[in-house]
Structure 1
Amino acid sequence: MAAKTLNDLFVHALSDVYSAEKQLTKALPKLSRAATNPDLAAAFKFHLEETQGQIERIDQVVERTEIKLKRVKCVAMEGLVEEGQEQIEEIEKGPILDAALIAAAQKVEHYEIATYGTLAALAKKLCYTDAMNLLLDTLKEEKATDEKLTLLAEQEVSEEQAGKQGTK
């Protein structure tokens, strides 16, 4: 990608996150099925619905800015999804896998938080106020999901479940 303007950069980043969200809609059901903790499985299902709404929001951004998305594949999300899949294949189902799934999901959330923050800043610079507000809505959702995952990790991964033995 050879961006020559801020608008080129915005279009590329929006196209990239669109690809990322599409990939995530395929990965989240797998994460949900792999989770043994019912709250974690439900969180993944809820985030799938939210992600579908975020894709619709990107469509609204495209419509309001009258830009055309590029056909790109988000290689960052591809790698994050692949890493999560490897953990599903390598770790026995149970609390350790649940902890690994939470970690994998938080990596995704942190990537999305960075991306939507950047997109909102670019939209502001480009005077795409409606787009900026839509992107900020998504940013808030991503931050809330990250917080929910942190709470799940704190509640569900006890020292006993983790197999940790203290030496005091």
Structure 2
Amino acid sequence: MARKTIEDLFIHELSDIYSAEKQITRALPRMARSSTNPLLAEAFKSHLEETQGQIERIDQFVEATGLKLKRMKCVAMEGLVEEAKELIDEIEKGEVLDAGLIGAAQKVEHYEISGYGTLIAMAKHLGMKSSAVQLLVDTLKEEKAADEKLSAIAEQGGDQAATLKKA
């Protein structure tokens, strides 16, 4: 589908973030299993549940607006997930891998934060129902909170924080 209008672009971007969310639901369990930091493993498990809710929110948004998503694969998320897989395959379990996984997860969060921010701006420009837009706003808040949680884990005391500061 050609992206000739803001609505076409919006549908493309919403389809892209939907694909991104689906991909990250498949990656988070492996990231959780690979982490030796219990707080980090729990953050990944918790965010998996949130992400499943975010997918449901997109479904609700689509239903509320009558839009039809495109079947596509988010190549950006595919790359970010691949980077995380490489870390898991190449680095021994421990604080270095945990630090790498935090960085990989924050790259994902930043991608999602920018995506939802853009979607919210376009949805408002298109005059979409505020109740529908609020679904996107709720997800954006969750993504920002997940990023903050990852930062807090990275900044906690102990050997892991020291390793991160050396990098």
Q: TM-score, normalised by structure 2?
A: 0.94
Counterpart code for 1:85: K
Give the partner amino acid of 1:107: K
Does the CA-based 8 Å contact 2:20-2:74 persist in structure 1? yes
How far, CA to CA, are the matches of 1:38 and 1:56 in structure 2?
27
The letter for the 1-side match of 2:161 is S
Residues 154 and 164, structure 2, Cα contact 8 Å, conserved in 1: no
Shift of 1:127: 1.1
Q: TM-score, normalised by structure 1?
A: 0.93
Task: Give a deviation string over 1:62-83, Cα, whole Å, max 9, x none.
Answer: 0011011000100000000000
Unaligned runs of 5+ in 2: none
Q: 1:2 to 1:92 in 2, by over 3 A?
A: same
Partner of 2:161: 158
CA distance in 2, matches of 1:75, 1:9: 16
Equivalence for 1:105: 105
CA-atom RMSD in angstroms? 1.4
Q: How far does residue 162 in structure 1 lie from its aligned partner after superposition?
A: 5.9
CA pair 127-95 structure 1, distance change in 2 beyond 3 A: same
Secondary structure of 2:4's match?
coil
In 2, are the aligned partners of 1:95 and 1:162 still within 8 Å (CA)?
no
| Contact 1:123-1:132 within 8 A present in 2 as well | yes
Compute the displacement of 1:4 (Å).
Answer: 1.0
**2:141 partner letter:** K
TM-fit CA distance, 1:131: 2.1
> Identity, % of aligned pairs?
68
Instruction: Report what 2:62 is aligned to.
Output: 62
In 2, the alpha carbon distance for the partners of 1:66 and 1:130 equals 14
